[in-house]
Amino acid sequence: MKKYDDLGILVPEVLLPKAGVDPHNWAVIAVDQFTSEPEYWDQVEDAVGDDPSTLRITLPEIYLGRPEEAERIQSIRNTMRQYLRAGILKSREGLIFVERTVFGKTRRGLMVCLDLERYDYSDGSTSLIRATEGTIIERLPARMKIREGAALEIPHILVLIDDPHRTVIEPLIAAKKGMEKLYEFDLMLGSGHLAGWGVADETPIIAALRNLARPEVFGAKYGVGADKPVMLFAMGDGNHSLATAKAVWEKMKPDVGMNHPSRYALVEIENVHDDALEFEPIHRVLFGVKKDFAAELQKHFGSKLKYSPVDTAAEMIHSVADHAQSIQRVGIVGGGHLFAVAEISNPKFSLPAGTIQAFLDSFVKSGGAEKIDYVHGDDVLLRIGGKPGHVGIYLPGMEKSDLFKAVIQDGPLPRKTFSMGEARSKRFYMEVRKIT
């Protein structure tokens, strides 16, 4: 397999389901979606039935921490080996050009392997591949248990490049006419359409990436010196999945050497300037609320807080969208009023997500609520956050064009600051890769 060490790229050997395997049931949405909606995963179970499916070789996070977790992980490992023995997967070496159409828009991506030796998720990292949000180390062990001992990796990781002139991925739109179509089908449960083509010659792609990685190009783009370490790849979705792969690799490499397949992780690269790529806010929901939320909010922020009940969800959303430089606003669903707006002046953090997250962490830690979850979509927040004993926190979005510069200058953003699209537009598992 070809390696481009200067770019941290390995051309992957990918496994895809053979003819006869129903791709509609094979492909399942990323495991970190619908974590507060068990009815969605019940629908997936009903749809898949006994068919071969990535549902059987991944662990939806809704099952993390449950009594049956260990049994499910063992079943995943057994099913991976069973799928390999049964020969339901075919091998193909090369990059894959991907098109995902959902909600009337088509997003483009490129499947590659990234070198985990070129990735560092710690604060202050200057690696070629960087995290865009804070990595919660405590979340890694549960995910490491799944990857350790697994024969396959099935990624939902999306990594971004900042390519305003669209030189890397977009030329493949016209070139796909001469490429081998590997798959095309509708995704389950109203999640759109997926198609993939095999890239025969990656040379133009590599040349374009090398241009983006030139220190002088990087420096001019972000207004930094040419001696500033280049960040070519920034995490989009799946931050903790890539961090898990890195942690497992660091643990095993003393025993296996530097040429092991686990040194690399299969990801999809997308251009942050893709017109179909939308940054959506990730809202918060508190479950089992035991303290007066509004009173605790006032106690935490003091005179910096202005807490205003409003009559409708639309009024709350409109107010949050209207912000000034020294003021941040978040919406509150429940918490003593049906809807409210919390306005914080002169905040410590540069983004509302960081400002409110610091309070929420202390609120949960002090016993104010049983747990916190992160949800996508205004409708989901309003439905779940408004239930008795719950409180929902509505957050504004961020401009995607600001992402790279913010991370280069300030380091990783507060966790769960943004999402690349709503839940049903998230990546579905399709491609598989051996890591043993």
Q: Average per-residue pLDDT in the chain?
A: 94
378 φψ region: left (φ > 0), alpha (ψ -120 to 50), beta (else): alpha
CA 111 to chain centre: 15
Q: What is the pLDDT of residues 320-329, one digit of tens each?
A: 987 666 899 9
Q: Confidence band (pLDDT; 50, 70, 90) for 201?
A: very high
Cα torsion 109, 110, 113, 119: sign: negative
Helix, coil or strand: residue 63: helix
Average pLDDT over every residue of 72-98 = 97
Q: 358: exposed, middle or buried (C-beta count within 10 Å: 0-12, 13-18, 19+)?
A: middle
Residues of 328-346 as b/e, b for ≥16 C-beta within 10 angstroms? bbbbbbbbebebbbbbbee
pLDDT top residue among 225 and 16: 16
Q: What is the pLDDT of residues 29-42, one digit of tens each?
A: 999 999 989 999 99
Cα torsion 134, 136, 137, 143: sign: negative
pLDDT of residue 277: 94
pLDDT of residue 411: 84
CA–CA gap between residue 329 and residue 306 (Å, rounded): 9
Kindly list the distances between the CA atom of residue 265 and the CA atoms of 71, 125, 172, 196, 254, in Å, as whole numbers in the listed order.
25, 19, 23, 19, 18
Domain boundaries, the chain: 3-278+420-434, 282-396
Q: What is the pLDDT of residues 120-161, one digit of tens each?
A: 998 889 999 999 988 888 889 989 999 998 999 999 999 999
CA–CA gap between residue 262 and residue 285 (Å, rounded): 36
Q: What is the pLDDT of residues 246-298, one digit of tens each?
A: 999 999 999 999 999 999 999 999 999 999 998 888 999 999 999 999 999 99
What DSSP assignment string belongs to 71-138?
HHHHHHHHHHHHHHHHT-EEEEES-EEEEEEETTEEEEEEEEEEEGGGEE-STT---SEE-SB---GG
Lowest mean pLDDT among 144-148, 214-218, 234-238, 397-401: 397-401
Average pLDDT over every residue of 59-75 = 91
Percent of the chain past pLDDT 70, that is, above it, reads 99
pLDDT top residue among 281 and 3: 3
pLDDT of residue 23: 98
pLDDT of residue 324: 67
Q: Is the pLDDT of residue 376 over 70?
A: yes
pLDDT of residue 256: 96
Q: Is the pLDDT of residue 409 over 90?
A: no
Average pLDDT over every residue of 289-313 = 96
Total Cβ atoms within 10 A of residue 280: 18
Percent of the chain past pLDDT 90, that is, above it, reads 81
Kindly list the distances between the CA atom of residue 129 and the CA atoms of 76, 115, 250, 297, 407, in Å, as whole numbers in the listed order.
29, 9, 16, 37, 11
Q: Is the pLDDT of residue 26 over 90?
A: yes
pLDDT of residue 195: 98
What DSSP assignment string belongs to 299-344?
HHHGGGEEEEEES-HHHHHHHHH---TTEEEEEEEETTEEEEEEEE
Q: Kindly report the pTM of this predicted structure.
A: 0.85
pLDDT of residue 350: 75
Output the furthest CA–CA distance in the chain (Å, rounded).
65
Q: What is the pLDDT of residues 350-370, one digit of tens each?
A: 788 889 998 999 999 999 999
pLDDT top residue among 401 and 307: 307
Q: Is the pLDDT of residue 410 over 80?
A: no
